[in-house]
Structure 1
């Protein structure tokens, strides 16, 4: 397979983003890290950034830092994510809570509107049966709380949700549609623009899960009319384990939608300490408790990198990485009975490639012990998560060849 490695070396030599590779922390004992779609690598300066924070912002400025910077950090950081990754104008994105909590907040806010006096006929939430468990679990819980009914979509396991699936599911009873932009299993990329337009034609609201697309797939939430979106920051935004998520709420819905967890940080006057809750009229309403300031530090360095590379440049490299991975799978793994479980067309694929084989659970355990780190997905899938700024083409091919070697040794 020297030809594959030669191709990878040539692509790395021509890669306009190759200088970013050196910005990431070393990985002792790791030959190939292929799980950037699950947990992004830390930057070299992440430890220094945290140490500076402890010494200066927290240790020296102490509580004064709330007035000087921390109070505005959730919206300031949200604006950076919106501009660099989402195609969102300022004032519509906020960093707060976990993905699960933000999904709950936005679903409840959307359904509260749907249950108003002019929307009594809208009684259904539309969601895909194979969506990530959190999305499904939250939707089921919200449906139970509100008396809504869930209409399940069955999508192709490789190609994901398509426009025709939505056309068959959305009716005058639909209140909210909840979908993932990139399928967490296959990497299939949904038509955000077209599907959002379909949902709006039916008079419903659209909520997108961006966990597997934020930071690797260009999008235009404002231009495409997206109502609501949630995404995590520990994958392609490299915020670290447990890093807070972000929520996007289109400006047209500010002051109209009202989230259910009424905390002091979402009040119109945070320090009024008044007798009753009055929500802020801006995106700040979707904050509840004290922002997780420490958890917002690591992603800031990655946003610097994304702003420099541009999301279009990152997407271009993502395509060459995943195309090369598919080629390597065809040449090195298909003869061993490995199935491609992702779309072949890079335009229909996100930042990871999924492959399947009955022995992949055992293969993954062997690979981890040898310093090659993909992730296993039940029942028999391996995801090759190729984060463009931290992954080289040689690393991608090395990982695929390691899967071949592990399979042949079982």
Structure 2
């Protein structure tokens, strides 16, 4: 009997303009349905080659290699700028996402003296919430927490209602880490600016997955990681964005020598570089930085418009399969149904999501689990095919239909 969903997957893959990019990644087990690239992207072949060559350069050139190695952070930043809709010189690789968020949040607060309120989402990624809470506690500020529901994004109207002359900073994720819901970046930014506040966006689930449009939205600040959709590898450095007009006005709190004018003068006073490099701190991770550069280069070559379009196609196809196959088995789609409001992952609610996730892995599907009771299925467009979605969700259906997941224990941490 013909499977119409399989036929649809084949048609969509045959028309996929990005299909050739899959061969540019290391895929050692094509029988596995890898649906967790929203947590860690695959290894580009060019990255493997570049790191091997870089190790040899280290061995041969020693300290003389720094002249070639150091520009990678700015070069990768300019590529990421193309991906997130910013300008050259507005993005640079630096530190981790959390450290960057701390640096930019403190800089923004210092730029709004006399204001004592931060607006943030109560269901945002934990690191973001913890860092903002810590800054507020250290400075005697208040955080106004917004509720959005587990399966949606914060709305501009809710942000508007929380704004007044006391608010210095609004800090939100563009794509919600749990549900994949996309916030109205332009609308929120415009609302905050009407009240004189700055906005700091977390782009960890946006960069390389959806169109962001920082410049078009007149966005102030942003941070993001490179190891998810940008395929920079485990431990790859994060990036930060500062709108060019804001760069000379902001002074970040961690004064390191890589952000200092005339770095090797070793002078007594800190005078920050009059450019995006003023937000750097210490010696960059060369190997990981070049891995992030290769991943960004591949994404920029593909083009974010084509990537975002394929993400909508993949998640839309997965949603149709979920409705047909999984809804009768107790699953509920916990992501926005409108493709324009959904990132590159689809989230499913199931009362036994943790055991289902473990059983799926034993069946050759690698999804992700997020409390409470949710499976995240990530579809990075550069190497995920519609036929991979079909394979993964059909195996997930079999796991649920046979009750095989009941052989696996509940979440041992009690998060379900």
Q: Tell me which interval the TM-score lies in, with the shorter structure as reference length.
A: over 0.9
Quick one: distance in 1 between partners of 2:16 and 2:292? 23
3-state SS in 2 of match to 1:247 = strand
| Counterpart residue number, 1:40 | 41
The worse-fitting range, judged by mean Cα deviation, of 180-189 and 271-280 is 271-280
The answer as to whether partners of 1:30 and 1:373 remain within 8 angstroms in 2 is: no
| Counterpart residue number, 1:340 | 333
Q: Following superposition, which runs of at least 4 residues in structure 1 exceed 3 angstroms of deviation?
A: none
- The counterpart of 1:150, out of the listed 133, 140, 143, is 143
The answer as to whether partners of 1:172 and 1:202 remain within 8 angstroms in 2 is: yes
| Counterpart residue number, 2:124 | 131
Quick one: distance in 2 between partners of 1:145 and 1:284? 26
1:400–1:59: structure 2 CA closer, same or farther, 3 Å change rule? same
Q: What's the CA shift for 1:227?
A: 0.5
| Counterpart residue number, 2:175 | 182
TM-score, normalised via structure 2 length = 0.94
| Counterpart residue number, 1:375 | 368
Question: Aligned-pair RMSD on alpha carbons?
Answer: 1.3
Q: What's the CA shift for 1:367?
A: 1.4
3-state SS in 1 of match to 2:169 = strand
The answer as to whether partners of 2:102 and 2:131 remain within 8 angstroms in 1 is: yes
Matched, 1:300 2:293: yes
The answer as to whether partners of 2:47 and 2:295 remain within 8 angstroms in 1 is: no
Matched, 1:64 2:64: yes
The answer as to whether partners of 2:76 and 2:297 remain within 8 angstroms in 1 is: no
Matches within 5 A, 1:211-250: 211-250=204-243
Quick one: distance in 2 between partners of 1:212 and 1:316? 16
Quick one: distance in 1 between partners of 2:353 and 2:150? 18
TM-score, normalised via structure 1 length = 0.96
Quick one: distance in 2 between partners of 1:380 and 1:3? 30
The answer as to whether partners of 1:42 and 1:298 remain within 8 angstroms in 2 is: no
- The counterpart of 2:197, out of the listed 196, 199, 204, is 204
Matches within 5 A, 1:154-165: 154-165=147-158
Q: What's the CA shift for 1:237?
A: 0.4
| Counterpart residue number, 1:318 | 311
Quick one: distance in 2 between partners of 1:168 and 1:386? 35
Quick one: distance in 2 between partners of 1:387 and 1:327? 18
3-state SS in 2 of match to 1:224 = coil
Matched, 1:252 2:248: no
3-state SS in 2 of match to 1:368 = helix
Matched, 1:169 2:170: no
3-state SS in 2 of match to 1:151 = strand
3-state SS in 2 of match to 1:46 = helix
- The counterpart of 2:342, out of the listed 349, 362, 376, is 349
Quick one: distance in 2 between partners of 1:47 and 1:314? 23
The answer as to whether partners of 2:79 and 2:297 remain within 8 angstroms in 1 is: no
The worse-fitting range, judged by mean Cα deviation, of 43-52 and 172-181 is 43-52
| Counterpart residue number, 1:87 | 85
Quick one: distance in 1 between partners of 2:18 and 2:223? 27
- The counterpart of 2:106, out of the listed 99, 103, 108, is 108
Partner deviation per Cα, 1:33-61 (whole Å, 9 max, x = no partner): 001111001113332221111112x2223
Structure 2 gap segments, 5+ residues each: 404-416
- The counterpart of 2:395, out of the listed 379, 387, 402, is 402
Quick one: distance in 2 between partners of 1:230 and 1:307? 18
Q: What's the CA shift for 1:337?
A: 1.4
Quick one: distance in 2 between partners of 1:253 and 1:164? 26
Structure 1 gap segments, 5+ residues each: none
The answer as to whether partners of 1:26 and 1:44 remain within 8 angstroms in 2 is: no
3-state SS in 2 of match to 1:45 = helix
Q: What's the CA shift for 1:30?
A: 4.8
The answer as to whether partners of 1:36 and 1:386 remain within 8 angstroms in 2 is: yes
Quick one: distance in 2 between partners of 1:66 and 1:267? 17
